[in-house]
């Protein structure tokens, strides 16, 4: 990794960022969150700093947040936020720090990785209480939603002695990059229907081909069969480009109704408002519009398919 190291920066006494070059570039945020018993002011300050530095990272980067976040995430959070939290949680109930972490994930498009993989409890807990009995999962590894499917496995290990009450948490990441596809079919498609339907254009086309062919024959003194054939093909191609032109793609009709498009704009506005002003009311309004948008999309799709089916029936008559 040292060969790809770009820079590091201290965001606060609790947050540090490290940037690595590559395609895509990678940013790792290391954080130590306030414990559950700390004041709301200290917690708010930490998450404000964390959210700000997260949003400053380019969206295409692989963004990983790792550290002791002192947050317990429970099954109840998966029920409310299934996109953010997987179903394999260690705890049953989410504490205050856990709720703050989930709100941060929602605002910054971050996803929990440990809750995506089914592991026994022995591979899930990350911290042992000083009493030697109570265990908790308070150390977390998060990744931005764009690269969530690149995570292959996450688990805790106790085979490495750290002389600490925390255990090592390891994530396996595999990123597949696709090269841009090259268009191998470079053949130009011309609008030959234009020539078929216009007798005047047909005559003009014949004259143009003949004139161009004679010019090429005069230029090329070698009159063997191959040269004549090449001149003929060139004459047709140049004339076609000049008189007929390429075929134009017909723009597909947008099957989404104006009602759906309006709902989409309202949903996007509600989402932006929630990100700028996180609150339960704004989040609820965003989710209601999101549900209405899904229903409207489904109705438009059904209407579109029924219309296509009717067109096919009429074509068969």
What digits encode the pLDDT tens for the residues 35-93?
999 999 999 999 999 999 999 999 899 999 999 999 999 999 998 888 899 999 999 99
Asked whether the predicted pLDDT for residue 187 surpasses 90, the reply is no
Asked whether the predicted pLDDT for residue 184 surpasses 70, the reply is no
182-203 in b/e burial notation, b at 16+ Cβ within 10 A? eeeeeeeebeeeebeeeeeeee
Question: Which three-class secondary structure state does DSSP give residue 6?
Answer: strand
Question: What mean pLDDT is reported for the chain?
Answer: 87
232-251 pLDDT, tens digit per residue, is 888 888 888 888 877 766 66
What does the pLDDT read at residue 143? 95
Taking residues 89-102, report their average pLDDT: 94
What does the pLDDT read at residue 253? 63
**Contact present, 25 and 59 (Cβ < 8 Å):** no
Q: Say if pTM beats, i.e. exceeds, 0.95.
A: no
Taking residues 252-276, report their average pLDDT: 82
Phi, psi of 72 (to 5 degrees): -100, 120
And the tokens for 163? 């002389």
> What's the farthest any 2 CA atoms get from each other in the chain?
100
DSSP of 146-200: GGGGGEEEEEEE-SS--SSSB-EEEEEE-----PPPP----PPPB-HHHHHT-HH
What does the pLDDT read at residue 137? 95
Q: How many residues does this entry show for the chain?
A: 317
Q: How far is CA 277 from CA 54, 238, 270, in A?
A: 17, 61, 10
Question: Which three-class secondary structure state does DSSP give residue 282?
Answer: helix
Asked whether the predicted pLDDT for residue 275 surpasses 80, the reply is no
Asked whether the predicted pLDDT for residue 262 surpasses 80, the reply is yes
What does the pLDDT read at residue 251? 60
5-25 pLDDT, tens digit per residue, is 899 999 999 999 999 998 889
What does the pLDDT read at residue 111? 95
Asked whether the predicted pLDDT for residue 178 surpasses 60, the reply is no
Return the H-helix or E-strand segment holding 294.
helix 280-316
**Contact present, 103 and 49 (Cβ < 8 Å):** no
Provide the pLDDT confidence category of residue 231 given band limits of 50, 70 and 90.
confident
What does the pLDDT read at residue 179? 52
Asked whether the predicted pLDDT for residue 180 surpasses 60, the reply is no
> CA 270, 286, 86, 77 torsion: positive or negative?
positive
Q: How far is CA 245 from the centre of its chain?
A: 38
Provide the pLDDT confidence category of residue 277 given band limits of 50, 70 and 90.
confident
What does the pLDDT read at residue 278? 81
């Amino acid at each position: 990794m040292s060969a790809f190291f770009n820079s590091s920066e201290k965001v606060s006494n609790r947050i540090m960022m490290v940037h690595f070059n590559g395609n895509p570039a990678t940013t790792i945020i290391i954080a130590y969150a306030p414990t559950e018993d700390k004041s709301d002011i200290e917690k708010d300050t930490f998450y404000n700093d964390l959210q700000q530095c997260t949003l400053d990272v380019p969206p295409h980067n692989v963004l990983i947040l790792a550290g002791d976040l002192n947050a317990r995430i429970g099954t109840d959070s998966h029920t409310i936020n299934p996109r953010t939290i997987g179903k394999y949680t260690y705890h049953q109930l989410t504490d205050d720090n856990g709720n703050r972490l989930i709100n941060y994930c929602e605002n910054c498009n971050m996803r929990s990785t440990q809750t995506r993989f089914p592991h026994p409890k022995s591979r899930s807990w990350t911290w042992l209480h000083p009493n030697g009995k109570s265990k908790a999962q308070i150390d977390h590894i998060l990744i931005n939603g764009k690269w969530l499917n690149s995570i292959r496995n996450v688990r805790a290990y106790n085979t490495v002695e750290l002389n600490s009450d925390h255990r090592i948490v390891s994530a396996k990441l595999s990123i597949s990059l696709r090269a841009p596809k090259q268009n191998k079919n470079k053949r130009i498609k011309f609008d030959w229907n234009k020539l078929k339907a216009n007798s005047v254009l047909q005559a003009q086309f014949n004259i143009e081909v003949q004139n161009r062919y004679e010019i090429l024959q005069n230029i090329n003194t070698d009159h063997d069969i191959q040269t004549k054939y090449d001149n003929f093909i060139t004459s047709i191609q140049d004339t076609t480009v000049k008189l007929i032109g390429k075929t134009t793609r017909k723009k597909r009709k947008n099957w989404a109704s104006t009602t759906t498009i309006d709902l989409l704009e309202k949903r996007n506005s509600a989402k932006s408002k929630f990100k700028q002003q996180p609150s339960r009311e704004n989040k609820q309004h965003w989710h209601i519009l999101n549900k209405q948008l899904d229903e409207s999309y489904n109705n438009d799709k059904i209407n579109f398919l029924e219309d296509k089916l009717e067109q096919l029936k009429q074509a068969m008559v």
